[in-house]
Structure 1
Amino acid sequence: MSAVWTSTAGVAIPDLVPGELRRAWVRQGRCPGTDIYRSFTEHVDAHPDRQAVLDDAGPVTYAELDHAVSATAAGLLAAGLGRRDVIGIRMVNSRHAVAAELAVAAVGAVSMPFPAGRGRRDALSLLRRAKATGLLVDRGTEGLRALPSLRVTLAPEEFATSAAAARPTPEVASGDPARILVSSGSETEPKMVAYSHDAFLGGRANYVRALHEDDTPMRNLVLVPLSSSFGSCGVPVTVAALGATLIVQRQFDPDATLRTIGEHRPTHVFGVPTMLSRLAGRHPPRRPRGLRALVSSGAPMPPSTERRIRAGFRTPVILVYGSTDGVNCHNARDGRPDPAVARITIADGSGRPLPRGATGEIHALGPMTPLSYVADHELNARYRTPGGWVRTGDHGFLDEQGVLHVTGRARQVVLRGGRSISPAEVELCLSGHPALAEVSCVGIPDPDLGELLCACIVPHADHPEPDLAELTDYLRIHHEFEPVKLPERLIVLPSLPLGPTGKVCRATLVQLAACDWRF
């Protein structure tokens, strides 16, 4: 029988990982057995003058952040929010968003950050399904329509005070939910995945820690929203777990980001492939001082794009395979899964492990494994095994050296006349065309075949704009594509639209492609 945590509004969150495994990870030191707020205050006491956050308004020390967190926590408690509440956070990247998330942990509640760019429909759906009892927003933000469980909407900026507030003492266990990660919405509704304090301070922190080669403090520039799944390497990991410096910008702008890299010398830059590609396209300084690596996740990166970014920065590019659902592996250590983060196995359709070299579904289990999906028994049944393993739905294999190779994302397909086409495969091959700066492929409705594949491209400024025939010839001749996989529509754009998490917004591309394509 799994342990079950229940919110004040009645949302039950079971832990689908056997308890003996969780306890073993703590004994082995792979999870610390403490909570996010206590871990944060330990860093405050150890180095109060170190920069905790650097945002558009300047630096904030750990002592200053501690003051802001205590003041925000006092405001939450005064509003009747606290232990076992689920509190939504819809804020842009700033010191206030950092203080808000830590304050939620300080009062023993569970945070559910989601990007400010999400539409009203998604926001209301998330708050309703999680039965959130409070919502934290930026000052001046238009409020959301009242929900039965939502008691109060607050702006953490208004809690700023010169009077020192006492540190709260949260009544939480390290295995309790700490934060609900929200997916980017590749399914019908964004998924909500609950992670414990130990999963952040242990497994997810172990993944970020492994990116660094020594014990010097990291300075992590996180380009994606802190409220995204990839952005969770910011507050609970960079600040609370590692006691390092978190650098953020209110919104992504390539020129401003390059200035930030030059002025504030991050050791690591975290971004999705499109962001890093656009930085490389602005002729960055070769090997910026202090920069150890560029860290890419959130979407596959074509080899040609990786080579261009690496050549532009003269800096290593670390590719991360991961998802909101609870899997992570990166090539900082040769692409081998790290058991301190998550073990990975390859399984057949019945869940039986496959030998090295055999392709099957990727399963993951380890210290970073989430508790469960929130308010969705169907997803728990579909994507979790009885032993707690996460079934990713993605396909891949482990080679003889134990390196993970991801061969396909099972949930992103275009169904054309009964045939499944992988947009990722077409994108990967098209990205090598010399005339293309960016490319993304999407399916558009077709009354006869169900869907057609549309290539959405951004041409290089110094190359003639290619037409559809040139691109399909390239795929046939250079990559031996069969006719069914060739794009049948083409749309040329000045840039690819980005969603609230910084990834290419496929929904927008589908809308554009459906009404504006050329042969």
Structure 2
Amino acid sequence: MTVALHDLLPAGLRRSWATDGTCPDLDLYSLFRARQIADPHATAVIDAKGTLCYTALDRKVRCLATGLRNLGIRPGDVVGVQLPGGRGAVIAELALAALGAVALPFPVGRGSLEAECLLRRAEAVAVVAAVEHRGDHHAAGLRDLAPALPALRHVIAAGRAGAAPEGTVALHELLRTDATDFVPARPDPDSAARILVSSGSEAEPKMVAYSHNALAGGRGNFLASLMPDKAPPRCLFLVPLGSAFGSNGTAVTLARHGGTLILLDHFTPEAALAAVREHAPTHILGVPTMVRMMLDRLERSGPEDGALPSPTALVLGGSALDETTARAASRAFGCPVVNLYGSADGVNCHTGLGHEVPDADGAGVVAGRPDPRVADIRITDPRTHEKLADGEIGEIIARGPMTPMCYVASPDLDARYRTPEGWVRTGDLGLIDGGGVLHVVGRLKDIVIRGGANISPAEVERQLGSHPQVRDVVCVGVPDELMGERLAACVVARGAQPPTLDSLTGHLTRRGLERRKHPEHLLVVAELPLTPAGKPDRAALRERLAHAPLAVPAAPPAPPLTRAS
């Protein structure tokens, strides 16, 4: 039985965006095919294997689609994709779109328990996975999970010839299928094309269903706003294509805009800088932590490495971007640094190309002016859900062409995070100022409660990011018998001398942050651990804090606040 994917947006509103041209009203494969016909020899993908033009890519897509159809994959079926960055992930996503099936990509590195959870809840009938990647044997592991997944019929193994584990289907054999008679499906552009996986704050990962129009239309309009000359972009993705941020790859860069994908099978700052120098991307998409790692390598490099070619934009999302990182990145890359506020749940806003560095602001992180061609944004009272006036802090909600259909197999999440009119409740706090600019203040849930007082880690991170000895910082809560929780700062040092906790708290005092919000523990790390999606791994840091000796301040923060009953 195929999982039910329903659209929580009013049908008339969704159709209006296709009627007025905001969305292209074509399925992803048809859009890609039109790009291939228009410029058959344009470069589609650059990866570790070399370059692949649109015509060669289309040939592989059609072969795989035929092979998958021969396995029994039908329109509406969900198929998982767990592949490293490269042409294989692109081919799989386009082949599934050509069949009218629904792709469920998720990054390599996610454990078997999480993979089992995703595939089971989505009722996936097949999964495409790497035979081996960086010591992980995903295909064999997923094959072993098959008994617990009644809907799963096939594990398709991607690897060299003869390497597919017993009990799996070799991807390279499917790619050799005769596609002469292949006729692509023409799915409804408002039907599901891809399921995005969000780490979020739930016990299990959230899965969010997106239509062809929401991806190519809404998300496509986001990238279009960062293409001043409208020429096909060359996008270097530092994040995995299987992440939510990576959904701007195949569907947006290729199908919507006819551009080129520059892909890394695994992020390292050295590999990323080499790709910038060799391939001169117009857009670099990543998270701030990745760019801070690249800046650190640049500081240690010599003149023989040469200058970096300047892209059109460095687009950073996934976590808050501080002013120090933005200024350093703008100088190093010679381009505007775009602060992207977005999520898999259906929100997108960015600071645009107008400034080299996003404006600093005491009211929170400046996220830019919402674009109704992507997602309209409002601020509402978290309790009454009434719209608030400009300047008032409340919950950020979003609705627009990029709004997803629904959460997958999670009616409880639909009820919690979607309004009856289809608006997405983000769980983020923010305000819209008198000029229509969105400011992100923090999260409703992401707080540390110290002695009954709430502390926003994001607020403290923003202030610590300007310390001259701090390259990168993440703040997390540490359990404490007396106070319930205390705040710990996990810091990557800038330069050879790491900061002390007292120097950090002194900096916060000078910045005007009240003492009760100061961190009480310091952990210095060489690099922040990253999740498979490329974001800072807060859970890993909490685990490290539980076993590491911690620096403590010379003077404790202010006592906890007492609350009137």
Q: Tell me if TM exceeds 0.5.
A: yes
Q: Which residue of 2 aligns with 1:322?
A: 342
The offset of 1:271, in angstroms, is: 0.4
Q: Secondary structure at 2:421's aligned position in 1?
A: coil
Calculate the aligned-residue CA RMSD, in Å: 1.6
The offset of 1:467, in angstroms, is: 2.0
Q: Secondary structure at 2:220's aligned position in 1?
A: helix
Q: Does 1:451 align with 2:471?
A: no
Q: Secondary structure at 1:117's aligned position in 2?
A: coil
AA partner of residue 120 (structure 2): R
The offset of 1:191, in angstroms, is: 0.4
The offset of 1:165, in angstroms, is: 4.1
Q: Structure 2 residue aligned with 1:441, among 475, 492, 504?
A: 475
Q: How many residues align?
A: 509
Q: Structure 2 residue aligned with 1:386, among 417, 420, 427?
A: 420
Moved more, 284-293 or 84-93: 284-293
Q: 1:394 to 1:505 in 2, by over 3 A?
A: same
Q: Which residue of 2 aligns with 1:61?
A: 53
Counterpart Cα distance in 2 of 1:481 and 1:441: 15
Q: Structure 2 residue aligned with 1:244, among 244, 259, 265?
A: 259
Q: Does 1:159 align with 2:174?
A: yes
The offset of 1:164, in angstroms, is: 4.8
Please say if residues 92 and 116 of structure 1, whose CA atoms lie closer than 8 Å, have aligned partners that are also in contact: yes
Q: Secondary structure at 2:67's aligned position in 1?
A: helix
Q: Structure 1 residue aligned with 2:544, among 500, 512, 515?
A: 512
The offset of 1:185, in angstroms, is: 4.1
The offset of 1:460, in angstroms, is: 1.8
Deviations 1:136-158 (A, max 9, x none): 11244323111111111113344
Aligned pairs (5 A) from 1:7-406: 9-140=1-132, 141-144=139-142, 145-146=145-146, 147-155=149-157, 156-161=171-176, 164-283=179-298, 288-289=308-309, 291-332=311-352, 335-349=368-382, 350-406=384-440
Counterpart Cα distance in 2 of 1:409 and 1:143: 36
The offset of 1:27, in angstroms, is: 1.1
Counterpart Cα distance in 1 of 2:532 and 2:516: 33
Counterpart Cα distance in 1 of 2:74 and 2:125: 10
Q: TM-score of the superposition, structure 1-length normalised?
A: 0.95
Moved more, 142-151 or 195-204: 142-151
Please say if residues 391 and 433 of structure 2, whose CA atoms lie closer than 8 Å, have aligned partners that are also in contact: yes
Deviations 1:408-428 (A, max 9, x none): 122321122222211111111
The offset of 1:287, in angstroms, is: 7.0
Q: Does 1:420 align with 2:454?
A: yes
Q: Identity of aligned pairs, percent?
A: 47
Deviations 1:202-254 (A, max 9, x none): 00000011111012211001110000000000011111111111110111111
Q: 1:177 to 1:30 in 2, by over 3 A?
A: same
Deviations 1:151-204 (A, max 9, x none): 111133442328554443214101111100000243211100000011011000
Counterpart Cα distance in 2 of 1:358 and 1:245: 42
Q: Secondary structure at 1:52's aligned position in 2?
A: strand
The offset of 1:12, in angstroms, is: 1.6
Deviations 1:386-425 (A, max 9, x none): 1001111111111111111111122321122222211111
Please say if residues 222 and 247 of structure 1, whose CA atoms lie closer than 8 Å, have aligned partners that are also in contact: yes
Q: TM-score of the superposition, structure 2-length normalised?
A: 0.87
Counterpart Cα distance in 1 of 2:92 and 2:47: 15
The offset of 1:369, in angstroms, is: 0.4
Q: Which residue of 2 aligns with 1:493?
A: 525
Q: 1:33 to 1:300 in 2, by over 3 A?
A: same
Moved more, 439-448 or 215-224: 439-448
Please say if residues 198 and 205 of structure 2, whose CA atoms lie closer than 8 Å, have aligned partners that are also in contact: yes
Please say if residues 74 and 165 of structure 1, whose CA atoms lie closer than 8 Å, have aligned partners that are also in contact: no
AA partner of residue 513 (structure 1): L
AA partner of residue 225 (structure 1): P
Unmatched tracts of structure 1, length 5 or more? 1-8
Counterpart Cα distance in 2 of 1:202 and 1:517: 50
Counterpart Cα distance in 2 of 1:196 and 1:90: 20
Q: Does 1:470 align with 2:472?
A: no
Deviations 1:444-501 (A, max 9, x none): 2223322221111111224x2222222222212x123333211111111111111111
Please say if residues 2 and 76 of structure 2, whose CA atoms lie closer than 8 Å, have aligned partners that are also in contact: no
Unmatched tracts of structure 2, length 5 or more? 133-138, 158-170, 355-367, 552-565
Counterpart Cα distance in 1 of 2:375 and 2:338: 18
Q: Secondary structure at 1:182's aligned position in 2?
A: strand
Q: Which residue of 2 aligns with 1:4?
A: none
Please say if residues 139 and 157 of structure 1, whose CA atoms lie closer than 8 Å, have aligned partners that are also in contact: no
The offset of 1:286, in angstroms, is: 8.4
Please say if residues 83 and 171 of structure 1, whose CA atoms lie closer than 8 Å, have aligned partners that are also in contact: no
Counterpart Cα distance in 2 of 1:167 and 1:37: 13
The offset of 1:81, in angstroms, is: 1.2
The offset of 1:517, in angstroms, is: 3.1
Counterpart Cα distance in 1 of 2:187 and 2:84: 27
Counterpart Cα distance in 2 of 1:336 and 1:125: 37
